[in-house]
Chains A and B, each alone.
Chain A
Amino acid sequence: MTSTTSAPTGRQTAPRRPARRPRRPLRFRLSRIAAWAVLALLLAGTLLPFYWILRTAFSTNSALFTGDQSVLPPEPTWVNFRRVLGLASPEEVRAAGGSGAELQFWLYLRNSVVFATLVTVGQVACCAMAAYAFARLHWRGRDAVFYLFLSTLMVPPIFLLIPNFVLLSEVGLLDTFVGLVAPYFFMTPFMVFFLRQFFLGMSSELEDAARMDGAGHPRIFLRICVPVMAAPLSTAAILSYVSAWNEFMWPLVAGSDPSVRVLTVGLSAFRSGQPQAAPDWTGLMAATVLGALPVILLFLAMGRRIVDSIRFTGLK
């Protein structure tokens, strides 16, 4: 292998390199620099708002209301984070111009974690099983059932919101975690589709070998497919965690009670919560930073996997 491939490439690159240089004129290099400049500008435009959240979160409200717009926070302080986390003393809170207590951060954070975790566990497990049935088993009507599942992708969520709300109120599960999680727990059409793509691409050799050894389908699924599919399954888990964390409309109607209220709903209540008073921007931005932090940490740890997964969301 080495002898056959390296010889011709060596022959090709040697004369080409010097020949190529004169074909890249100054104009080409300038346009490349210009393109980089545009890209850098776009990256800055993406990141600057994030910086502004941080800058606000480290400022004091009184400094904000003087209209100071310096790049660094005028009087850097941790008080907003302490306030949101309930660690600040009452005097500090009064001085900072808002209690931040109406945002029960720890409670909502716990609720968000419970909600997103339950959704992720259920969704990935159930959808992986369904994907196995759609991709690795042969049975009559398989494709028809799959397209029936897939067709619900076209149903707008608000169409399902009202009947699902009614259903949960009939069985008395509104404002409970069970009710909040249930519509996402068993499947989403996207997740079934996403995982099926990967199960379709799996080589059947291991599966055949296991079947030769007498393994049944449950064992093939658990001992072969799940380990082989570990990477796509964890990508699926990240995607479903992030989207559950960001969910807003359903928790707004089905989980308005503080005992199950998630962070997105809690943060949105801030806006309608204080009609006359000057809004507590610094406290809100501190809460926002803390609320987005889990997702950002997940992203820092698994960023490449999320980025790579995007190509599978629709293009195959």
Chain B
Amino acid sequence: MSEHSERTRPRYGGASRWRRAQWSAGMSERWQRVRHHPGAVAAMFLLPAGFGFVVFYLWPTIRALWMSFTDYNLLRGSGDWVGLQNYQDLVADPLFWHSMRVTALYVVLNIGVQTALALAMAVMMDRLTRSALVRGVLVLPWLIPQVVVGLLWLWMLDPRLGVVNHVLDWVGIGGQDFLGSPAQVIPTLAGVNTWRFVGYTALLIFAGLQMIPRHLYEAAALDGAGEWRTFWRVTLPLLRPVLALVLVLSVVGSFQVFDLVQVATGGIGGQPGGPANSSLVIYVYIFRHAFNFNNAGYAAAMSAVLAVLLAAVTFFIMRGLRGSRSDLA
């Protein structure tokens, strides 16, 4: 198969070039060369996406970096070079460090619970059912807008009228403040996000489980290994590259939580990030500086630090779990 396709795939030279030249004898030779030059053809196909890439990804990246060294103001629409001032301010800004700590706590709680639960769900599904209905139901919260998820839980967790407190009262635990309590707001948000993403994460892991050859399980069973032992000795090691990818996707995503906090915190009519900045995650803080305080330069500096941090996190997860290498190969 591979030999066959290698042989018949013309690489813009030799026989096919000759044949094409024969057929298109009527056309100008020069136009033909341009039209069929591999670089020219590729450029034509890449034109729209390349335009979007340069205008909305590459250029803004450079520009944001430049902005981070200025006192850019969105109302004025301009900024003056201030050198490293923004970065010095950032190091000295207690709220920046506070928001980093809040975000880190959120990420740890969210990813810890979510990954463990998703792994358990994936293994169970692998053993019990292949049903598309089950998978569909589990992935449903992932499809709903984060804004809707936030409003839904804001209502269900309402301290006075929410159904969750009603159930807690009934069980005898007593009502909680949840999103209104400085101590509970981050764990609550982490829980809500886990509700939204755990099914999706489980499906990613489930897809990875499908790639583990069945005969390895049979061999383990023949050797007398139980479920528990098989999981730790066979499933988990072979799942490592998949887990690394899932962790990268979910950690990086979790660091960037915004919609949920913006919608569900601060109570009705309050400032997002509340109560008293206890849910001021980094995205909300950056957003506040850029669009409420008109410190776009400072906001750009903070996003640059965040970008470097996320790249570092990705690197360490991939390295720590040797994510780019599989034991199956």
Q: Are B48 and A186 in contact, CB atoms less than 8 angstroms apart?
A: yes
| Contact A271:B269 (CB < 8 A) given known A163-B60, A214-B23, A303-B136 | yes
Q: How far is the CA of A267 from the CA of B146 in the complex (A)?
A: 11
Q: How far is the CA of A154 from the CA of B47 in the complex (A)?
A: 23
Partner of B42, one of A142, A267, A313: A142
Q: How far is the CA of A273 from the CA of B199 in the complex (A)?
A: 33
Q: How far is the CA of A288 from the CA of B150 in the complex (A)?
A: 11
B291 proximal to A (CB < 8 A):
yes
Contact with B along A124-162 (1 / 0, CB 8 A): 011101101100011110100100010010111111111
B145 proximal to A (CB < 8 A):
yes
Q: A139-B41, A311-B210 are in contact. List 6 more A-B contacts (CB 8 A).
A: A47-B137, A158-B303, A166-B72, A203-B5, A204-B8, A299-B136
Contact with B along A248-260 (1 / 0, CB 8 A): 1100110000000
A281 proximal to B (CB < 8 A):
yes
| Contact A315:B208 (CB < 8 A) given known A36-B128, A292-B148 | yes
CB distance from A53 to the nearest CB of B (A): 6
Q: How far is the CA of A307 from the CA of B307 in the complex (A)?
A: 30
List A contacts of B155 (CB < 8 A). Answer: 52, 56, 281, 284-285
Partner of B124, one of A39, A145, A165, A284: A39
List B contacts of A69 (CB < 8 A). Answer: 163, 166
| Contact A158:B49 (CB < 8 A) given known A137-B38, A267-B147, A284-B155 | no
Closest to A279 in B: B268
* Centre residue among A56, A279, A304, A307 by max chain B CB count within 10 A: A307
Q: Are B283 and A52 in contact, CB atoms less than 8 angstroms apart?
A: no
Partner of A284, one of B5, B136, B151, B300: B151
Closest to A34 in B: B124
Q: Report the interface size for chain A: residues with CB under 8 A from the other chain.
A: 108
List B contacts of A26 (CB < 8 A). Answer: none
Q: Are B128 and A35 in contact, CB atoms less than 8 angstroms apart?
A: yes
Q: Are B42 and A49 in contact, CB atoms less than 8 angstroms apart?
A: no
12 A–B pairs (Cβ distance < 8 Å), ordered by A = A49-B156, A152-B58, A155-B307, A158-B258, A163-B300, A203-B5, A204-B8, A205-B8, A211-B10, A246-B143, A253-B291, A271-B268
Q: How far is the CA of A156 from the CA of B30 in the complex (A)?
A: 45
Q: How far is the CA of A166 from the CA of B70 in the complex (A)?
A: 14
Contact with B along A16-57 (1 / 0, CB 8 A): 000000000000000110011011001101110110110010
List A contacts of B45 (CB < 8 A). Answer: 129-130, 132-133, 137, 217, 221
Using CB atoms and an 8 Å cutoff, list the residues of chain B in contact with chain A: 5, 8-12, 16, 19-20, 23-24, 35-36, 38-39, 41-42, 44-53, 55-61, 63-64, 67, 72, 74, 77, 121, 124-125, 127-129, 132, 134-141, 143-148, 150-156, 158, 160-161, 163, 166, 195, 199-200, 203-204, 207-208, 210-211, 227, 242, 245-246, 249, 256, 258-259, 262-263, 268-269, 283, 286-287, 290-291, 296, 299-300, 303-304, 306-307, 310-311, 314
List A contacts of B150 (CB < 8 A). Answer: 268
Q: Are A292 and B134 in contact, CB atoms less than 8 angstroms apart?
A: no
Closest to B210 in A: A311
B contacts with A: majority SS: helix
Using CB atoms and an 8 Å cutoff, list the residues of chain A in contact with chain B: 31-32, 35-36, 38-39, 42-43, 45-47, 49-50, 52-53, 56, 64-65, 67, 69, 122, 125-127, 129-130, 132-133, 137-140, 142, 145, 149, 152, 154-167, 169-170, 182-183, 185-187, 189, 192, 203-205, 208, 211-212, 214, 216-218, 221, 242, 245-246, 248-249, 252-253, 263-265, 267-268, 270-276, 279, 281, 284-285, 288, 291-292, 295-296, 299, 303-304, 306-307, 310-311, 313-315
List A contacts of B290 (CB < 8 A). Answer: 161-162
Partner of A170, one of B77, B121, B203: B77
| Contact A130:B154 (CB < 8 A) given known A152-B61, A267-B147, A304-B136 | no
List A contacts of B154 (CB < 8 A). Answer: 271
CB distance from A273 to the nearest CB of B (A): 8
Closest to B9 in A: A204
| Contact A291:B304 (CB < 8 A) given known A130-B46, A158-B286, A307-B139 | no
* Centre residue among A32, A38, A295, A311 by max chain B CB count within 10 A: A311
Q: Are B269 and A276 in contact, CB atoms less than 8 angstroms apart?
A: yes
List B contacts of A218 (CB < 8 A). Answer: 44
